[in-house]
Structure 1
């Protein structure tokens, strides 16, 4: 064989098997890829032929039939399939080519299509990515069942399965339920006020993290532990925002998928977005199922004047700054309410048919009694989010 075994993305286990002159490899399920060798004879080495194991992946399972999914190797009694030597052709040759594939809800990051060629230096090289091993990263903002316009949070219908796969349910100290928004397979956005519910202002983020539980997907899903809480440096005076890091990455699917971070401004007065949540409904009871509402971006100056004219304590006043924007009620006077904070103001970009988190709901105490909800403008804090996630 002209090249060493190619690596699998993100430390994927390579499972090795030998059967006489036949050898091959496959990738374990744990990091969302499969590896297939298309052919394996080179003009430079015409006499040395090695056939790979082509182990078919069971559709929708993320693993191969008859194989274990751990890192220790194939299970006893498992079967492997190999291909016969490819036919020789006149005035031509066969090359070593391998191709990486990501599992559903993941995509290859970087240049190239995942195809690597064994070059004259006995190295696997991609035309687009060079010698760099590809990485499978989460797909974002592509719900299988996008929301319909007339469903709502206050006294309305329920969100369909997979309509808001980025919506998290954060349970804080003393079992208070609030929102959180998945932005990767390990990080979520929520508000600083959510994090500090039933904690003193002097509490440290590392003390609060163990008291939080995060739920994603259906109600039957287990609680996920929070490893780190990172407050935005502008909290609490200007930016009511926090990042949550899960102890382990989550596997993505129809009901669990991150929303994309915005790369341009989606916050123009009159533009509508969708807000989902587990907050109180028309009877002020917490719902057992996720609901959502379609709301318009409001005029910032009118919102500022509205809240400046109120005589209320700081706890029931929103945090307004250059990093926030306001949203009005729907034509049916539908609104967010207690417990919805931390959810995304999700907008769909028609240019790429992708959903983006234009804002994170900070002030959820309107409940149709106030004119405006207040959101952190995510585009203003994207650099902080990316730097924090990169730092781990």
Structure 2
């Protein structure tokens, strides 16, 4: 496993290797903390970016190795961070079943269910306010670290505003609704980040009073009828960060009006990176 060791005082001589359990091990002195965390955003089989996608395509194994499938009040999504955290939406996140490592619903649910140890919902989220998805972000800490491989790898967190430039293409993957029914296979669409003013104008034309705050962004193009849908909620908007050669979760599928009828609205992950890191650092 490719790992990065955080800066720390000089260690005893000898080679340190990262075990599958996420521990640095040295033949001379045994196990040594800190935890070894996997490098993120490096799929072994990245999605082909030349494709023009109409209404979504089936994903291949390894295209979106961070994809989580959740199921309680219907299907939802999420993304693996590190080796024991799931990034998802706050809506519907308590008491989840979490499945990882495959692109077919039947196959993924046959793999082991990953029990959730803790659910941390952002304090700004207000479940009772139906037109307000502010703070629609949650972290699920898994009971156990997962064993990583070509079909199960984490995605990176964003670190700069350029990943949100209008026109930048991102990928949304999920087991969501496709032609009025749940898809049994992981599918994906390629969507452009849209200009905020255009989405604000579109909402006004629809006479909507939904909150579209600075902690959200919108994506899509009404002309293509491509969108994320209800069953994709909690999945991520993944962007290829060419400069750093890695994939980044810039957004979380949050809300929209209908399916494929206009723009989709996403939690802006960059606005919550400090909160995410703080939660993940706390050992409970």
Unaligned stretches of 5+ residues in structure 1: 1-30, 34-95, 109-113, 119-123, 125-131, 196-207
1:376, CA displacement in angstroms? 0.9
1:102, CA displacement in angstroms? 2.5
Classify the secondary structure of the residue corresponding to 1:306.
helix
Partner of 2:157: 261
Partner of 1:84: none
- 1:384 corresponds to 2:280: no
Runs of 4+ in 1 over 3 A off after TM superposition: 103-108, 132-135, 151-154
Task: Tell which has more relative contact order, 1 or 2 (C-alpha 8 A, sep 6+).
Answer: 2
Summarize the Cα distance change of 1:107–1:343 in structure 2 as closer, same or farther, 3 Å threshold: farther
- 1:335 corresponds to 2:222: no
Partner of 2:247: 355
Summarize the Cα distance change of 1:248–1:153 in structure 2 as closer, same or farther, 3 Å threshold: farther
- 1:217 corresponds to 2:101: yes
- Give per-residue Cα distances to partners, 1:8-44, cap 9 Å, x unaligned: xxxxxxxxxxxxxxxxxxxxxxx999xxxxxxxxxxx
Summarize the Cα distance change of 1:249–1:234 in structure 2 as closer, same or farther, 3 Å threshold: same
Summarize the Cα distance change of 1:146–1:106 in structure 2 as closer, same or farther, 3 Å threshold: farther
Partner of 2:61: 161
Classify the secondary structure of the residue corresponding to 1:384.
helix
1:153, CA displacement in angstroms? 8.2
Matched-pair contact (CA < 8 Å) for 1:146–1:163: yes
1:105, CA displacement in angstroms? 11
In the aligned structure 1, how far is the partner of 2:249 from the partner of 2:17?
28
Equivalent of 1:234 in 121, 124, 138: 124
1:345, CA displacement in angstroms? 1.0
Partner of 1:101: 17
1:136, CA displacement in angstroms? 2.1
Matched-pair contact (CA < 8 Å) for 1:32–1:103: no
Greater fraction strand: 2
Partner of 2:143: 247
Matched-pair contact (CA < 8 Å) for 1:294–1:330: no
In the aligned structure 2, how far is the partner of 1:179 from the partner of 1:153?
21
1:260, CA displacement in angstroms? 0.4
In the aligned structure 2, how far is the partner of 1:223 from the partner of 1:323?
32
Matched-pair contact (CA < 8 Å) for 1:335–1:366: no
- Give per-residue Cα distances to partners, 1:132-175, cap 9 Å, x unaligned: 75642112100001112327583x431111110111011014xx
In the aligned structure 2, how far is the partner of 1:143 from the partner of 1:107?
22
Partner of 2:188: 292
How many residue pairs end up in the alignment?
Answer: 259
Normalised by the size of structure 2, how large is the TM-score? Answer: 0.81
In the aligned structure 2, how far is the partner of 1:105 from the partner of 1:391?
19
Unaligned stretches of 5+ residues in structure 2: 4-11, 103-107, 127-131
Normalised by the size of structure 1, how large is the TM-score? Answer: 0.60
- Give per-residue Cα distances to partners, 1:168-188, cap 9 Å, x unaligned: 011014xx1011111121111
